[in-house]
Amino acid sequence: MRHPSAAAALLASAVIGGLGLPAAAASASAGSPEARAAWVPSCYDDEQGEQYACGPWHLIMRDGRRLTVRDTFGVRIGAKGGKVRASGAFAISGDGRTIAYERVRDHRVVVRSAAGGPVRELPGALSPSSARTKGLTLILSHTGDRILVERAGTRRVLTLATGRITELPATGDPQGFSGDGDEVYATRDLSDSTKWLYAYGLDGSVIKKSAPQFVANAFATALSPDGHTVAAVSSGTLDRKRPPRLRTYDLETGRLSEAVDLPVTADSPPFAAGWTPDGKVVVHAYSSDYGKPSVVRVLTVDPGTGEAARTDTYKVAADDPFILFPGE
């Protein structure tokens, strides 16, 4: 299910066109740095003794800049119209080049380049019908060519280049797209402590399988471009000095691979994982120490060869606890 190079080039141009960018803006965005992560400022409630999101979303760009996405909600709006202490709906594509969010002035879901520029409004059917946005969830595919919108008990995927909307089954909680964007990966926890994994193809196909213990207990899981292989990342153990590990699980055959040790220690647990279209797994590991800047380490793993390398490291301010990584 991977796109050959020629098809990938056509797909990239279709995505740029789908975002509604003029040619000049599209050219400028192509050379712009990607977003490493997004974050929401926090406030502290002395009476409740808790920290909560309280401002618009910001982007941490790969070149070190921090950009404010001013027309975003930092918090959600509840059923009675009041603010809910949860960060507002926001998404970053796996490659960091595209963002999606609910616009403040009219509650429309919009998509644009992470580096800035014009926005594309999603169809009204994919935007909240009122200011009540507590249940709104947005997820972008790796290249930003597709967006999943979950709200009011419905799950729809919009293909930006064509405008096609696909409705998905409601079983399971969506975790993200497969590496090539042709499937949506979902999980479901049952009362007997078992976990089911689902790969929903946009062509209507469904693959489901009960997860083995390693996958069920994993800190992060993600679906491969092949549509049936799940990468699962464990947290590691400090007392045994065992680092976090990655294994793959085939939903079709039930095969669980041997473990690959990740180049981080157990005090930097994996926080998010995602596949690239060419079959690599990108893992974000996050370590924090109260009152000090947190450190994010980005790892790239080739499950086929077992090679794993640290490809990026950056710090997050101590007062930025509400953070979102590309592909989440």
pLDDT in tens, 259-273: 999 999 888 889 999
With cut-offs at 50, 70 and 90, classify the pLDDT of residue 153: confident
Residue 301 has a pLDDT of 97
Q: Are 173 and 155 in contact (CB under 8 A)?
A: no
Least confident of 66-75, 122-131, 283-292: 122-131
Question: What are the structure tokens assigned to 124, written together?
Answer: 């009204």
Please give the mean pLDDT across all residues of the chain. 84
With 90 as the cut, is the pLDDT of residue 21 above it? no
Q: Are 210 and 194 in contact (CB under 8 A)?
A: yes
With cut-offs at 50, 70 and 90, classify the pLDDT of residue 155: very high
Closest CA to 110 of 124, 129, 96: 124
Q: Taking residues 3-22, what's their average pLDDT?
A: 34
With 50 as the cut, is the pLDDT of residue 321 above it? yes
Residue 26 has a pLDDT of 38
What is the DSSP secondary-structure string of 75-136? EEE-TTS-EEEEEPPEEE-TTSSEEEEEBTTT--EEEEETT----EEPPGGGS-SSS--TT-
Q: Taking residues 73-82, what's their average pLDDT?
A: 61
Domain boundaries, the chain: 10-26+34-167, 212-328
Give the list of residues 6+ apart from residue 10 with CB closer than 8 angstroms, or none.
Answer: none
Specify which residues 305 forms β-bridges with: none
Question: What are the structure tokens assigned to 202, written together?
Answer: 């946009």
With 60 as the cut, is the pLDDT of residue 6 above it? no
With cut-offs at 50, 70 and 90, classify the pLDDT of residue 29: very low
Question: What are the structure tokens assigned to 136, written together?
Answer: 């709104």
Specify which residues 278 forms β-bridges with: none
pLDDT in tens, 40-65: 887 777 887 777 777 789 999 999 89
With 60 as the cut, is the pLDDT of residue 7 above it? no
pLDDT in tens, 157-214: 999 999 999 999 999 999 999 999 999 999 999 988 899 999 999 999 999 999 999 9
With 60 as the cut, is the pLDDT of residue 12 above it? no
Total H helices, total E strands in the chain: 3, 28
Task: Tell me which of 49 and 229 has the higher pLDDT.
Answer: 229
Residue 32 has a pLDDT of 52
pLDDT above 70 coverage of the chain, percent: 82
Residue 173 has a pLDDT of 95
Residue 55 has a pLDDT of 77
What SS3 string covers 164-184? EEEECCCCCEEEEECCCCCEE
